[in-house]
Amino acid sequence: MTSLKEICCGLPLNPLPENRGRRKGIPHAPVRTPNLTAQEKKLALRNALRYFPPEIQKKLVLEFAEELRLYGHIYMYRFFPDIEMRAYPIKDYPCKTKSAAAIMLMIMNNLDPSVAQFPQELVTYGGNGQVFSNWAQFWLVMQYLSEMTEEQTLVMYSGHPLGLFPSHRYAPRLIITNGMVIPNYSTRDEYEKMFALGVTMYGQMTAGSYCYIGPQGIVHGTVLTVLNAGRRYLKAEDLSGKVFVTSGLGGMSGAQAKAAVIAGCVGIIAEVDEAALLKRYKQGWLMEISNNLDHCIAQLRGTFSSTRLFKFYSRDARKNKIALSLGYHGNVVDLWERLVYELDTTGELLVDLGSDQTSCHNPFSGGYYPVQLGFEEAKQLLSTNPGKFRTMVQESLRRHVAAINRLADKGMFFWDYGNAFLLEAQRAGADVEKKGGNKTEFRYPSYVQHIMGDIFSLGFGPFRWVCTSGDPQDLATTDSIAMSVLEDSIRRGVSTSVKQQYHDNIRWIREAGRHSLVVGSQARILYSDQRGRVSIAVAINRAISEGRIKAPVVLSRDHHDVSGTDSPYRETSNIYDGSAFCADMAVQNFVGDAFRGATWVALHNGGGVGWGEVINGGFGLVLDGSTEAEERAKMMLSWDVSNGVARRCWSGNDYAYETICQAMKENVMLKVTLPQKVADEDILEQALQS
């Protein structure tokens, strides 16, 4: 077994580790089909061999060629480290700086098998969200971080460590860019080639920025989405007895099961991959699993059923208003079509709310599996006949939407979860058009447009922190601190809309410990606004200084946030001034975080809705109890929220206008250009007719 000290010594070349190839018993990424020419295959091999001295290249080139042929990418399985991959306590990392040790902890958490979707392919979530492109990069990055001083910055080009460069102690210790491809060449086909060549990488969001915290990272947002969907669509504060149907139990989508139970409803979540289903069940995120549609319906109606996996006497969770997370091992299209059958034969609508979290940002490379085939059969077709696979996926999407439309016409409320489901369904020819809508609108809203958009405009988003001691007691202390900060803010007075969010947050913190949300690092996510983030950060930093928290705390957030992402079909889908396809906000956020105190920053092409569809960025900020850390947090976190609120204000959002005006009152150094409304809309028509 390799030690942390050995991991930090650079590539193990003398002797070379044994090449054990793909490990059995763990999930693996789908085979990629980059369609390289003979010359491009040589280039891919040449690029991979750049990491190794000439005397071992002849030995490695054959296995690299085999990986390229079998899997469509060179992962360098020989160098998969023989270590228990997890977030070790920060004190265990052999580093010269706490910042570097914190980054190493976050990287290893992203690759922890209990966290990562395909750990041996360095994929954290989303089917293709890479931490690195190959294992040589992992070894080099860990070596660089162990050697780094406070006068150096590590520069990362799409997984490749360009090197340590001289900087200064106030600069970021790490700068990451992923997928920064010239716009005209940012297509899926070009991506597949460039990834196979080892020259670019799809970092999703927090995979490539080393800030993923397991499915908890999306649980809070999913809870808020389901609660607010109930408020908006069902006019209900209490969701007991309400049924939520969706799909996906992989990386981020795995949060849906836990979120349904916390929200108090009956959640039925379909998943084609039995390994993913069982993983969530063993982690306690699913209460039941079944491969039998009769059993799923029984939970909504109350009859006996049995399954290959489990046997139950149904409790009729819907009628008895029992919170339940039921994982259906099968294709979600079959589930939707069965619900249509029940409607047609009994007249009863058994579902209230619906969504989808298949990885439709990557539909033709394993992100979405067609209903016409079983899982293993579909994987085989993907590798042998990707053209036919694509055709079947599009046919499946049309069936998928047809069933949803039938149920929605009878009162079920459906929303797109920002996974490009409606976008890909539209491209497949499904009936998702919104009459009179603009190009970012569909028959069903994005959850940002109708559910979460107001939250972003109020400055609320998925703030998070990681306790680097690895001690659950430190996490409990931070939970207590966060709750006290929120309660104090309510006492001091906030607007009605903000108060609702604070109460939801307090409920979340109280529920978090009871629901065993930690998978991997000792982390917490909390949707918070600018005031909340800054106040919580300051309070946590002082607790570190006072010794109440035993080690530094890493602050971060999902890229899916107020300011972090420009994505016209998700985060900025409710921007209606024509700038939804512009990426100034995300780029400015990356730059602004870098010089306002972030420990590391990242900027990505792709994430959420897919390659070429979005620009997004994130950060990590290490709190070590120092006065300097407090000042960095105040400066950087304020900008990290105000940037996006100001942009949303300028686009015409009334909530954002109120929020940024309040921020300017609280900070006289903040001066934002405010929009003037057109008082008389008739003058526009008159001007065009003159």
If asked whether residues 351 and 481 sit together in one domain, one would say no
| Percent of all residues in the chain with a pLDDT value above 70, rounded to a whole number | 97
**Helix orientation angle between 188-197 and 38-49, rounded to the nearest 10 degrees:** 50
Supply the pLDDT for residue 307. 46
Quick one: average pLDDT of 568-595? Answer: 93
Nearest-angstrom CA–CA distance, 622 and 556: 9
Residue where a domain stops, chosen among 430, 447, 464:
447
- Please say whether the beta carbons of 255 and 222 come within 8 A: yes
- For residues 288 and 433, state if they share a domain: yes
Strand order in the sheet with 266-271: 288-290, 324-329, 266-271, 243-247, 353-354, 413-414
How much of the chain is in helix, strand and coil states, percent to nearest 5? 45, 15, 40
Beta strands in 6-104 (DSSP E): none
In a domain, 256, yes or no: yes
Of 396, 413, 447, the residue that ends a domain is 447
- pLDDT tens profile 448-501: 777 776 789 999 999 999 999 999 999 999 999 999 999 999 998 888 888 888
Which residue range(s) make up the domain with 35?
6-197
Tokens at residue 585, please?
A: 């906000």
With respect to residue 674, please indicate whether it lies within any of the assigned structural domains.
no
Q: Are residues 420 and 464 in the same domain?
A: no
Choose one of 134, 165, 197: the last residue of a domain: 197
Tens digits of residue pLDDT in 238-272: 999 999 999 988 766 678 888 899 889 999 999 99
Q: Is residue 289 located within the same domain as residue 146? A: no
Residue 55, pLDDT score: 96
One domain for residues 30 and 155: yes
Tell me, yes or no, whether 379 and 485 share the same domain. Answer: no
What is d(CA 194, CA 614) in angstroms, rounded to the nearest whole number?
18
DSSP β-bridge partners for residue 354: 245, 414
pLDDT of 583 over the 80 cut: yes
Is residue 688 in some structural domain?
Answer: no
Residue 35 CB neighbour total at 10 angstroms:
12
Indicate whether 650 belongs to any domain. yes
**Are 71 and 118 in the same domain?**
yes
**Domain shared by 471 and 580, yes or no:** yes
pTM score of the predicted model = 0.88
CATH for 175: 3.40.1770.10
DSSP state of 181: -
Residues 22 and 54 in one domain: yes
Q: Per the domain annotation, does 202 fall within a domain? A: no
513 is a domain residue: yes
Report the alpha-carbon distance of residue 221 to residue 446 in Å, rounded. 14
Whether 507 and 484 share a structural domain: yes
User: Using only C-alpha atoms, what is the Rg of the chain?
Assistant: 25
**Same-domain status, 258 and 185:** no
Structurally, how many domains does the chain consist of?
3
Q: For residue 23, give the DSSP letter.
A: P
The pLDDT value recorded for residue 252 is 66
Is 1 inside a domain boundary? no
pLDDT of residue 137: 98
> Can you give the CATH number for the domain in which 342 is found?
3.40.50.10730
For the stretch 12-22, what's the b/e string if a residue is b when 16 or more beta carbons lie within 10 angstroms of its beta carbon?
beeeeeeeeee
Q: Is residue 466 part of a domain?
A: yes
In this structure, the answer to whether residues 411 and 468 fall within a common structural domain is no
Two structure tokens written together for 632: 């960095």
